[in-house]
Amino acid sequence: MNISICMESTDACEISNQTIFSNNLIQKRNCTFNDQLPQGFSLSSWKVNNSYDADASLPDYVKGKVEDLLKLSGYRKPLKCSRNVSPYWPTYNGWNHDKACRISDLPYNMEKKTSCYVGASCTEMTCCTDDPEMDTTFSWFIDVDFCHLKLSVGIENTKQEMFLSDITFGEEKCFSLQGVYRLSYIIYDLVSDSHYMMSVNVSVCYEPDNCTLTENVVENGMFPKPVCDFKSTDFVIPGFSMIDWLKKHKFSSLTPLPEYGQLELLTDLGLANYMKIKLCTDLDDIYRYQSDGWTKG
């Protein structure tokens, strides 16, 4: 990052291209994905304080005020989901499927306020749920990516990604958007059966002690793991060239590559998230006393 201070449009800048950062690594903060409602907030109390009945339906412009107050609007997708169009429709039980995936024992959800679509991997569900209080909808998803060893959970435009090796199967997890839209889920890894078993609840909450809506979307649903293609030799970047990459990032050669350059390369190649924090070396105990490159247990 460089900064310049210029007081005249035609003259030289008083301060020109002063370097603030130069290839510095800045640590990302840890995010919390289990938000609660703002301290002391209650929609019924807010209505009364603003001259509405506690159970009154609010005008659209007032609903917008509530969303802004709860900081929901910044996370909204430009177009809200609809349960009556693709990919959620057509359906006879509240579920729709990609043609590559058919799961026969999913629950009958037609009388609920949530419709879901199961993607081609068979372990990803994308859903649309009604918000009865605000007369709107919101989208959410859970994707257990068996082939890339990742779990992704999201509501509208916010999401959390984790590696499967970092989660505890069989433990209830929660994910919420500003404390209003909430997911709770449990995933079991049935290794011998080659399935994931999932239970998922969705809630809409505008009160600190109760929710407008809570639905059990699926209980102990069996989702078959896909067959993964581990033979592919394609790069994440189509047509990747190390020479072109070095030129683009203005590195003269692969060695020595500075730390930030190494991280950039691993990220671009899709490898960064798979690397262990502590890298192996030939000084590790299990390799130290080797003979011809081998050690015995």
Cβ atoms within 10 Å of 119's Cβ, excluding its own: 17
- 27 phi/psi in degrees, rounded to 5: -70, 135
Instruction: Report, as ranges of residue numbers, the positions in the chain whose pLDDT lies below 50.
Output: none
What is the reported pTM? Answer: 0.81
Per-residue pLDDT at 272: 81
pLDDT of residue 71: 94
225-252 as b/e: b if 16+ CB within 10 A:
bbeeeeeeeeeeeeeeeeeebbeeeebe
Partners of residue 199 on adjacent β-strands:
186
Q: What pLDDT, on a 0 to 100 scale, did the predictor assign at position 293? A: 79
